[in-house]
Amino acid sequence: MRHRAGGVDPDRLAELEEERRFLLRSLNDLEREYRAGDIDEVDYRELRDGYTVRAAATLRAIEDGKSTLPAKPPVDWKRRIVSGVAVVALIGIVWWALAAWSAQRLPGQTATGFDPRDENTVLVAQARAVMFDQPGAAAALYDEVLDNDPDHVEALTYRGWTLALSTRAMEDSSEVTDALKSSIDSLGRAVELDPEYPDAHCFLGIIQIRFLQSPSGAVPYLERCLEQNPPADVRVLVEPLLDEARTES
């Protein structure tokens, strides 16, 4: 009988790893087919949602399985902690820089140039004010904007990003799967409505490389983010991510 470490079958972990690679390749192929016009939007969204749900569930199963494996020899915890903190810090800085840039844009530069008296303008301003300290409250405010205007690009984008960030505090695999699916749906809709809005591309790229562990899936999104000429403080943060994604693809 094959040895099971802590009740985990190593063969099963290997199967899950292969399934993850297959699903991420399928997502990449689907994106190429859609951009080439080989698949219509209805089929594209249905297939993308299905692959995303399965990829998120598979990744969580892999992580759960690895957590029960026997302890490995001592590792360089200082390096690991610094690396982990750096990843979280990088994500936070990119979020801050993009949000600050979004707030500074003039009406007409994005799809969100409303009259100051408009209710959505007030809600967006409130969401921007609390998104760093109270992301849950910000997400709720963006939901209110979307109730008024389902095609509000900024609200779709930052609601999607907040949902992705929220998965880091989740333990239930079904919650993670649902949140990532909603996140990618929201960001994908923002891209469809305004392909030149860089924030959504940046966030989708980060989700691909940091949340779904798909460097090849991140490359096109990060490239499009940089093509939209973001400010220097955003570019200097995104360019290393793109270099990393290209190297690991």
Q: CATH no. for residue 146? A: 1.25.40.10
Segment among 55-69, 120-134, 195-209, 225-239 with least mean pLDDT: 55-69
What amino acid occupies position 204?
L
Q: Are 13 and 40 found together in one domain?
A: yes
Query: Which residues neighbour 9 within 8 Å (Cβ) at sequence distance 6 or greater?
Result: 2
Q: Are 27 and 117 found together in one domain?
A: no
Say what the pLDDT of residue 96 is: 58
Bigger pLDDT: 85 vs 115: 115
pLDDT bracket for residue 140 (50, 70, 90): confident
**Continuous H helices in the chain:** 10-35, 41-66, 77-104, 119-130, 135-148, 153-166, 173-193, 198-206, 215-227, 232-248
How far is it, in rounded angstroms, from Cα 177 to Cα 59?
A: 10
Last residue of one domain, picked from the residues 74, 93, 109:
74
- The phi-psi region of residue 107 (left if phi > 0; otherwise alpha if psi is between -120 and 50; otherwise beta) is beta
How far is it, in rounded angstroms, from Cα 100 to Cα 118?
A: 21
pLDDT bracket for residue 59 (50, 70, 90): low
Q: Are 172 and 132 found together in one domain?
A: yes
How far is it, in rounded angstroms, from Cα 231 to Cα 202?
A: 13
The rounded radius of gyration (Å) of the Cα atoms in the chain is: 19
Q: Are 70 and 84 found together in one domain?
A: no
What is the tens place of the pLDDT at every residue in 152-200? Answer: 999 999 899 888 877 877 778 788 888 888 999 999 999 999 998 888 9
Q: Are 144 and 198 found together in one domain?
A: yes
Q: Are 111 and 163 found together in one domain?
A: yes
Closest CA to 31 of 18, 20, 47: 47
Last residue of one domain, picked from the residues 38, 58, 74:
74
- Assess contact for 222 and 238: CB atoms under 8 A: yes
Average pLDDT score, the chain: 75
Query: Which residues neighbour 134 within 8 Å (Cβ) at sequence distance 6 or greater?
Result: none
Report the percent of the chain where pLDDT is more than 70: 71
Q: Are 62 and 99 found together in one domain?
A: no
How far is it, in rounded angstroms, from Cα 120 to Cα 154?
A: 11
Q: Number of structural domains, the chain?
A: 2
Q: Are 141 and 163 found together in one domain?
A: yes
Domain boundaries, position 70? 1-74
Bigger pLDDT: 135 vs 99: 135
Query: Which residues neighbour 231 within 8 Å (Cβ) at sequence distance 6 or greater?
Result: 97, 101
What is the tens place of the pLDDT at every residue in 70-81? Answer: 544 443 423 332
Maximal CA-CA distance, the chain: 71
The stretch 106-130 carries a mean pLDDT of: 63
The stretch 3-16 carries a mean pLDDT of: 64
Q: Are 65 and 92 found together in one domain?
A: no
SS3 at position 1:
coil
Q: What angle do CA 169, 170, 173 make, to 5 degrees?
A: 155
Q: Are 52 and 38 found together in one domain?
A: yes
Q: Are 65 and 151 found together in one domain?
A: no
Say what the pLDDT of residue 82 is: 34
Last residue of one domain, picked from the residues 74, 99, 127:
74
What is the tens place of the pLDDT at every residue in 18-40? Answer: 887 787 777 767 777 877 888 88
Say what the pLDDT of residue 109 is: 42
How far is it, in rounded angstroms, from Cα 8 to Cα 21?
A: 20
pLDDT bracket for residue 150 (50, 70, 90): very high
Q: Are 102 and 67 found together in one domain?
A: no
